[in-house]
Amino acid sequence: MTWDAGEVFDALGRAVSRSPRITVAVWALITAGCFGLAVAGVGGESLFERLSTGAPQVPGSQSAEADDLIAEASTSGPSLTLAVQDVDPADPALAEPVGAAREDLMAVTGVASVIDPYLLPEGPTSAAAAPLIAQGGDGFLVVVELEPDLVPDVEDAALAEVEERLDALPAELSDAVPGAAGASGQVGGTSLIVEEITDQVEEDLRTGETVALPIALLVMVLVFGGFLAAAMPMAGALASIAGGLGSVYALSYGLDMDASVVNVVTILSLGLSIDYGLLIVSRFREELHALVDVDQGASVRRRRGDGAVETALRRTMTTAGRTVAFSALTVAIAISGLIVFEPAILRAFGAAGVAVILIAVATALTLVPALLRLAGRHLIAPGLVSRVPGLRWVLARTSDVSAEEGAFSRLAGRVQRHPWWVLGVSVLVLGVLATPFLRLELRNSTIELLPQGSDQRAYVEAIADDYPASASPPVVVLAQASLEDVAAWSAELAELPDVASVDPPAPLGGYVVVGVRPDTTDPGGAVARAVVEDVRATDAPFDRWVTGQAANQIDFTQALFDRAPWAVAIVVLATFVLLFLMTGSLVIPLKALLTNALSLSASLGVLVWVFQDGHLTGPLGFSPTGGIETYVVALIIAFGFGLAMDYEVFLLSRIKELWDSGRTNDEAVRLGLQRSGRIITSAAVIIIVVFTGFVFGKLLVIKEVGFSLAVAVLIDATLVRMLLVPATMTLLGRYNWWAPAPLARLHKRFAITH
């Protein structure tokens, strides 16, 4: 009962070959529709307007429950705050222009209250005004709060009008008050932080694509020796990007989509679609070359009903098409492991990642073959680029070839002569690179994800430095008890280690809120986390919940550890089964899992060395936070494992073809590396370019993901695929293909063959 995948992909190739123009037209409509959906949306709400941001939460955790209860009990609306700087708040001349601004703000539809030091009867020098006065006595705050439960359009209009009026106040003070000639100000608030992050996501997306696409096209021109063949994977990539954005938009109606999801899945979609397109185009040219060489004197002119082109396309689909589908399945399985976790952000990444993989493989198996069918024999004709002086020599060494001997077979031959040395050195290098991973610190950053100097990060830091009494406490306790009982209990909190102060309890609906301020400037660091653990361990005669950045980080990390065994088990088991069905071997899947684990550990070690330890801050343009974003580690493991399996399948499919054709193990490894090495290397270069393009963005989380995945691909496509895999397969010899007799019989019944 062996499933012959070749028949399925041959039928697909035949169908595409018969209707290439219809296929291209359908994809053109899908691409335009998805881009339109992402930009304009439904009812004028674009994709970027539907994104959320903030510290990732775990549904049902103590911190998430506290946040939900606080949100439900709160009777306050959204607010904006102006921090006026470089003025003397005690100057009585400030009262008149500030009062005029207050009247204007109260006249805005939807504004509930305006608070400033000059509104208080005691004046700006009173104790009641202290939270609104800068510690250094050189500034003050104006806080504007809107009515709760405004309809979105009214709320957005009110926030925009309030922001505009607050922005104008410092200049008015500078003009009207002689002592405030140098007045400046910063307007901030939750809505502006969300807006700045989503705007930065959109900008980073454009930056990444602007950097990645032209360089990727240049690499493919060198790979294929011309623009025509290089344009095929690029067309698939553009369609995949559009489809990916459209799928994320659709998923946003069922899942909360964090702003970073868009960039990360775009990176994945762009890289995989180019990878798969590259493999399809390369195999098609190889098959067409073989057919045209046999066809004496065959013309490269496009002919209707060209049998050689159709045959080459069908052969491509039964070989490279099957490999692409199999590879996409392994990557999808790796990323689907994220759906097992409880945090909503990881579920969103998992669902969106699987969606874009399906779109990428769909373009590679339909759109790209349709374009190949239309281009026909022109794809093997010398391109105009090859006629440019100086480029002919370069292209002769970079464009794809079908020779059985070359640089990669010679490399494999050297490895096979000294397999133990290669194995030992490779494992040693990977181990050294992985060492920093042992000191990994996990973080759930908030405003720190924005670049230094950004408006909202500067605002939050200014509030924390100059107005500590107005800044939100890093640790928040929500208690269901009377104000007196909570006040008595909170006295115990003030005695805990590393607690600097405890805010007076404040009523909130049927609850009481207590702010705890650790003796640290790092709201998510080890000291703050220790305070959270101590507060949670303190007995209380009533129900209470602890939240805040550090509490959220503890809950998120615990949720990862709780579900990680299930996610790993699912991915490992499914990958093992798929590779077994592909190869019939029990050894090859085990070897693949071990080498991929080594490769991932090395990549994570480099990530820690750079972003946690603070190396390369200048070239990469970031400020270290003292750790790695918690969900970034999960993403890198899932995405990195998937990409490693991608290249594993590329290499194994060629080696298995040669083994099945009767070659010896060493010949199959050597020639398999020769036939797939160029594609793996070229695909790796392109995907590294794609990931590196997103490192030029400014959001820290995108930098971390882009950099670490680029490093993962670099390590995997060079040290692992070119050296470690050939060495281990040489040492194992015929045992590579071993399986116990019962499993061997099972493989004969259920094998995926072509």
Average pLDDT, the chain: 86
- pLDDT: which is higher, 561 or 222: 561
Q: Which residues of 161-199 are buried (b: 16+ CB within 10 A; e: fewer)?
A: bbbebbeebbebbbeebeebeebebbbbbebbbbbbbbe
Q: Which of 170-179, 443-452, 537-546 has the lowest mean pLDDT?
A: 443-452
Instruction: Check: CB of residue 244 under 8 Å from CB of residue 355.
Output: yes
- Please identify which residue in the block is written with the tokens 């790979």: 223
Q: Is 229 domain-assigned?
A: yes
Instruction: Check: CB of residue 376 under 8 Å from CB of residue 303.
Output: yes
Q: Mean pLDDT over residues 626-655, rounded?
A: 87
* Cα separation, 383 vs 230, whole angstroms: 11
- pLDDT, position 1: 45
With a pLDDT cut of 90, the percent of the chain lying above it is: 33
Which residues touch 597 (CB under 8 Å, ≥6 apart)?
none
* Cα separation, 73 vs 507, whole angstroms: 10
- pLDDT, position 712: 92
The count of domains in the chain is: 4
Instruction: Check: CB of residue 705 under 8 Å from CB of residue 694.
Output: yes
* Cα separation, 729 vs 681, whole angstroms: 19
What is the C-alpha R_g of the chain? Answer: 30
Joined together, the tokens standing for residue 307 give 């049998």
525 and 595, same domain (yes or no): no
Listing DSSP states for 125-186 in one string gives TSGGGGGGB-TTSSEEEEEEEEPTT--HHHHHHHHHHHHHHHHHHHHHHHHH-GGGTT-EEE
Q: Mean pLDDT over residues 651-671, rounded?
A: 89
Report CA dihedral (257, 259, 261, 265) to the nearest 10 degrees. Answer: 130
pLDDT band for position 268 (cuts 50, 70, 90): confident
CATH number of the domain that 507 lies in? 3.30.70
CB-CB neighbours of 232 under 10 Å: 26
Which residues touch 62 (CB under 8 Å, ≥6 apart)?
536, 545, 546, 547, 551, 555
Instruction: Check: CB of residue 705 under 8 Å from CB of residue 604.
Output: no
- Write the pLDDT tens digit of every residue in 495-541: 999 998 899 998 988 899 999 999 887 777 888 899 999 999 999 99
435 and 388, same domain (yes or no): no
SS3 string of 393-441? Answer: HHHHHHCCCCCCCCHHHHHHHHHHHCHHHHHHHHHHHHHHHHHHHHHCC
Residue where one domain finishes, among candidates 504, 526, 547: 547
Helix (H) or strand (E) holding 83: strand 79-85
- pLDDT, position 397: 53
Q: What are the angstrom distances between the C-alpha of 649 and each of 258, 507, 578?
A: 32, 60, 10
Instruction: Check: CB of residue 680 under 8 Å from CB of residue 639.
Output: no
Query: Rounded to a whole number, what is the largest CA-CA distance in the chain?
Result: 100
- Write the pLDDT tens digit of every residue in 111-125: 999 999 888 777 777
CB-CB neighbours of 692 under 10 Å: 19
- pLDDT: which is higher, 444 or 403: 444
- pLDDT, position 316: 92
- pLDDT: which is higher, 614 or 406: 614
738 and 626, same domain (yes or no): yes
521 and 580, same domain (yes or no): no
- pLDDT, position 456: 87
385 and 266, same domain (yes or no): yes
Residues, the chain: 754
Listing DSSP states for 179-218 in one string gives GGTT-EEEEE-HHHHHHHHHHHHHHHHHHHHHHHHHHHHH
Q: Is 247 domain-assigned?
A: yes
Q: What are the angstrom distances between the C-alpha of 567 and each of 255, 498, 580?
A: 20, 36, 20
| Strand, helix or coil for residue 362 | helix
Q: Which of 88-92, 384-388, 593-597, 683-687 has the lowest mean pLDDT?
A: 384-388
- pLDDT, position 301: 53
CB-CB neighbours of 36 under 10 Å: 12
Question: How wide is the angle at C-alpha 390 spanned by C-alphas 385 and 395, nearest 5°?
Answer: 55
- pLDDT, position 302: 47
Residue where one domain finishes, among candidates 193, 208, 241: 193
Phi, psi of 317 (to 5 degrees): -70, -35
641 and 749, same domain (yes or no): yes
Question: Residue 746: pLDDT above 70?
Answer: yes
Q: Mean pLDDT over residues 543-566, rounded?
A: 91
Q: What are the angstrom distances between the C-alpha of 397 and each of 263, 388, 677?
A: 35, 15, 14
Q: Mean pLDDT over residues 409-436, rounded?
A: 94
738 and 621, same domain (yes or no): yes
- pLDDT, position 534: 93
Helix (H) or strand (E) holding 571: helix 549-583
- Please identify which residue in the block is written with the tokens 């045959």: 311
CATH number of the domain that 698 lies in? 1.20.1640.10
Q: Mean pLDDT over residues 88-116, rounded?
A: 91
Joined together, the tokens standing for residue 546 give 């602890």
* Cα separation, 607 vs 628, whole angstroms: 8
168 and 92, same domain (yes or no): yes
Q: Is 526 domain-assigned?
A: yes
- pLDDT, position 31: 93
Instruction: Check: CB of residue 611 under 8 Å from CB of residue 622.
Output: yes
Q: Is 66 domain-assigned?
A: no
567 and 688, same domain (yes or no): yes
423 and 563, same domain (yes or no): yes
Domain of residue 498 covers: 475-547
Q: Is 93 exposed, middle or buried (0-12, 13-18, 19+ CB in 10 A)?
A: middle
Q: Is 166 domain-assigned?
A: yes
- Write the pLDDT tens digit of every residue in 22-45: 999 999 999 999 988 888 877 778
557 and 543, same domain (yes or no): no
603 and 712, same domain (yes or no): yes
- pLDDT, position 752: 63
- pLDDT, position 390: 54
pLDDT band for position 5 (cuts 50, 70, 90): low
Q: What are the angstrom distances between the C-alpha of 174 and each of 95, 101, 283, 517?
A: 13, 14, 70, 36
- pLDDT, position 296: 46
pLDDT band for position 4 (cuts 50, 70, 90): low
Q: Is 185 domain-assigned?
A: yes
Q: Which of 287-301, 334-348, 464-478 has the lowest mean pLDDT?
A: 287-301
pLDDT band for position 211 (cuts 50, 70, 90): confident
Q: Is 347 domain-assigned?
A: yes
Question: Residue 493: pLDDT above 80?
Answer: yes
- pLDDT: which is higher, 527 or 385: 527
With a pLDDT cut of 70, the percent of the chain lying above it is: 93
- pLDDT: which is higher, 581 or 608: 608
Residue where one domain finishes, among candidates 377, 397, 417: 397
- pLDDT, position 363: 95
Question: Residue 753: pLDDT above 70?
Answer: no
* Cα separation, 50 vs 258, whole angstroms: 9
* Cα separation, 536 vs 65, whole angstroms: 14
Question: Residue 588: pLDDT above 70?
Answer: yes
Q: Is 379 domain-assigned?
A: yes
pLDDT band for position 279 (cuts 50, 70, 90): confident
* Cα separation, 147 vs 593, whole angstroms: 56
Q: Is 131 exposed, middle or buried (0-12, 13-18, 19+ CB in 10 A)?
A: middle
Question: Residue 132: pLDDT above 80?
Answer: yes
Question: Residue 73: pLDDT above 90?
Answer: no
Instruction: Check: CB of residue 265 under 8 Å from CB of residue 349.
Output: yes
Question: Residue 298: pLDDT above 50?
Answer: no
Amino acid letter, residue 526: A
Question: Residue 389: pLDDT above 60?
Answer: no
* Cα separation, 278 vs 706, whole angstroms: 21
Say if strands 475-480 and 184-188 run parallel, antiparallel, or are unpaired: unpaired
